[in-house]
Amino acid sequence: MPVSKLIGGKSVTLHHLAKAQHYRIADPVPTWPALFPVLRLDNILGSAHWESRHHRVGPALGSDHRPISAELFLR
pLDDT in tens, 5-20: 444 555 555 566 556 5
Give the model's pLDDT for residue 47.
74
Q: What is the pLDDT of residues 43-52, one digit of tens each?
A: 787 777 788 8
Contacts of 74 (CB under 8 A, 6+ apart): 3, 49, 50, 51
- pTM for the whole structure: 0.68
Q: What is the pLDDT of residues 34-75, one digit of tens each?
A: 999 999 888 787 777 788 888 889 999 999 999 888 888 888
Per-domain residue ranges for the chain?
Answer: 4-74
How many beta carbons lie within 10 A of that of residue 9, not counting itself?
Answer: 21
Q: What is the DSSP string of the chain?
A: ---EEEEE--B--HHHHHHHT-EE-S-----BSTTS--B--B--EE-TTEEEEEEEE----SSSS--EEEEEEE-
